[in-house]
Amino acid sequence: MSIEGKVVIVTGGTSGIGEGCVRHFAQVGAKVVAASIQQDEGEALADELGNVDFVYTDVSDEAQVKALIDGTLALHGRIDACASNAGAWRQGKVTDFKEADWDLIMGVNVKGNLYLAKYLAPVFEEQGKGVFVITTSVAAFIGFPEHALYCMSKAALDALVRCLTTDHPGYMRTVAICPGTIDTPMLAATAAGWTAPLEELYEDIALKIPVRRLGQPEDVAKAAAFLMSDDAGYVAGTSLFLEGGTMGLPPW
Ligand SMILES: NC(=O)c1ccc[n+]([C@@H]2O[C@H](COP(=O)([O-])OP(=O)(O)OC[C@H]3O[C@@H](n4cnc5c(N)ncnc54)[C@H](O)[C@@H]3O)[C@@H](O)[C@H]2O)c1
């Protein structure tokens, strides 16, 4: 299940799940290119870990995504895999949304992955293989209260994973990781307005999860490393649910 020596791009690689991926992949010997819109955090992470490069990339900007792919090829000569974690989130019902919310959420979550796929596919075709792992969400399948736009964006990615698998067979393996409740800054942000200490909320949530804990970024990172490895060579066009068993709960 090794990704040792593989060249791996991690978008959203400077916070939460993406940062967990960068740390884990670097630890197991991958050559990591971390990308995000957090310049200071990216430079600090690259300095700390050594075998990591940071490339400032707004994934909603096509030219910047192309530059990330070209820059990685210039650095390492190939790209074995990409773990796409960059994500944006807004709370609200459809009646609350403004066009700017649509542009942000769809720009980062949907267009960002479209652009990554667009520029990764030819590289993978030329190389004969490559893996694209997209972090979606259980929000693709659940109507989270007041998260309509986010849920829509993640559902679109579930379709994208299947389409990429159909359209680029033989050389591009695309898989979704579908996390539930992962302990990250984004999760903490969703609790804004919560008056009790965050730990109390998290303890309460953990009791509702069949494995009785929140997920950690390393949980996602380890799953992503497996999916990128040659041992996962027959896994394509599908979602790995990583939600501590919550999707199997009865609806009452
Ligand atoms: N935390 C959870 O419980 C959870 C559950 C399911 C899915 N997810 C998904 O996992 C992914 C990572 O989320 P997280 O919880 O680690 O959040 P986070 O807020 O900790 O990290 C998000 C990362 O995305 C980057 N980013 C935001 N906009 C960007 C842009 N335009 N271009 C490039 N990078 C950008 C940020 O700089 C940051 O590094 C997201 O796609 C999120 O939707 C999270």
Angle at 18 between CA 208 and CA 231, to 5 degrees: 85
- Distance from Cα 55 to the centre of ligand 1, integer Å: 16
Q: Is the CB of 60 under 6 A from ligand 1?
A: yes
pLDDT tens-place string over residues 218-237: 999 999 999 999 999 999 99
Q: Is the CB of 229 under 6 A from ligand 1?
A: no
pLDDT tens-place string over residues 154-168: 999 999 999 999 999
With the most atoms of ligand 1 within 8 angstroms of its CB, the residue from 184, 198, 219 to mutate is: 184
- Write the DSSP symbol of residue 127: H
- Separation of alpha carbons 7 and 126, rounded Å: 15
Looking at domain 7-180+216-241, which of 3.90.1170.40, 3.40.50.720, 3.10.20.30, 3.40.190.80 is its CATH number? 3.40.50.720
Catalytic residue (one of 56, 115, 119, 150)? 150
Residue 109 main-chain phi, psi, to 5 deg = -75, -40
Q: Is the CB of 20 under 6 A from ligand 1?
A: no
Residue 8 main-chain phi, psi, to 5 deg = -130, 125
Structure tokens at 95: 């009646």
Ligand 1 atom at minimal distance to the Cα of residue 58? 32
Q: Given a cut of 90, is residue 1 above it in pLDDT?
A: no
Q: Given a cut of 80, is residue 114 above it in pLDDT?
A: yes
Q: Is 150 a catalytic residue?
A: yes
Nearest CA to ligand 1 atom 29: 86
pLDDT given for residue 47 in this prediction: 98
Average pLDDT value for the chain = 97
pLDDT tens-place string over residues 90-107: 999 999 989 999 999 999
Residue ranges covered by each domain of the chain: 7-180+216-241, 185-214
**In contact, 35 and 57? CB cutoff 8 Å:** yes
- Separation of alpha carbons 161 and 163, rounded Å: 6
- Alpha helices of the chain — where are they, by DSSP H? 16-27, 39-49, 62-76, 99-105, 112-127, 148-167, 185-190, 198-208, 217-228
- Distance from Cα 187 to the centre of ligand 1, integer Å: 10
Nearest CA to ligand 1 atom 43: 87
**In contact, 48 and 149? CB cutoff 8 Å:** no
Q: Given a cut of 90, is residue 251 above it in pLDDT?
A: no
- Other beta carbons within 10 angstroms of residue 72's beta carbon come to 24
Q: Which of 34, 35, 24, 22 has its CA nearest to residue 64?
A: 35
Once rounded to an integer, what is the mean pLDDT over residues 197-204? Answer: 94
Once rounded to an integer, what is the mean pLDDT over residues 76-90? Answer: 98
- Separation of alpha carbons 207 and 60, rounded Å: 37
Distances in whole angstroms, Cα of residue 122 to Cα of each of 9, 21, 52, 75, 252:
16, 24, 24, 18, 47
Nearest CA to ligand 1 atom 1: 182
In 3-state terms, what secondary structure has residue 82?
strand
Nearest CA to ligand 1 atom 20: 16
Q: Is the CB of 221 under 6 A from ligand 1?
A: no
Q: Is the CB of 85 under 6 A from ligand 1?
A: yes
